[in-house]
Amino acid sequence: MTGPPFIGYAHDVDSRERGRAAAERLVERRVLADGAAVPRMLRRLASEIVEKSGGTAERLAALIEAIEGHRPLLGAVDITLYRDDVFRGLPRPVIGPTELPFELEGTTVVLVDDVLYTGRTVRAALDALMDYGRPRAVQLAVLIDRGRRELPIQADYVGLSAETAADESVKVFLTEAGHDGDRVVVRVRDGGESGGGEAAP
């Protein structure tokens, strides 16, 4: 691998999640992973990344440091303006910072996201990344792959694959994001109506 290892976290400042939460009440339907399972999944992801290439991104960076003895550089890519629904689904888009700590040329980048759903968030992250340079390679690591893809995108590293319904959303809670513990839950609107999904686009 040429250049320093890099883990990037694709995010859109949770704009869609905040807007939906304000308009409806989501209730938990089932727990996909509890406080014991989430750390195991993250350790496995970190080990696989090390073997193949040398909120979730922060934990993975620390775990890789424990395995390899050095911490990969960590950055963030804001995808808000790269979403294909930015002017349709986000009437008041909130733009966050993009922080890339080095040149991308010649670097293998591991994009990290909590949930892989339709693939549209990943597509937006790739478009945003390419505006900052041409990486040697881009890989994708996700904690949860909930299926139901709308674009031909697959993850290189997956913590857990889970079948979900279209009326469900998947939410990841990690201590790094300020939560009391680690867990992954499936939620629906109160009353069982459609609740969408965290990872769309």
pTM of the model: 0.78
143 neighbors 171 (Cβ within 8 angstroms): no
Domains by residue range for the chain, with CATH: 6-24+34-165 (3.40.50.2020)
Average per-residue pLDDT for the chain = 83
Q: What is the pLDDT of residues 30-61, one digit of tens each?
A: 999 999 999 999 999 998 887 764 478 989 99
Q: Distance between CA atoms of 77 and 10, rounded to whole angstroms?
A: 5
Q: Which of 201, 198, 71, 196 is nearest to 128 (CA)?
A: 201
Q: So what's the pLDDT on residue 3?
A: 42
Q: What is the pLDDT of residues 54-111, one digit of tens each?
A: 478 989 999 999 999 999 999 999 998 898 887 776 667 778 889 998 889 999 999 9
> Residue 109, exposed/middle/buried by CB under 10 A (0-12, 13-18, 19+)?
buried
Q: How confident is the model at residue 199 (pLDDT cuts 50, 70, 90)?
A: very low
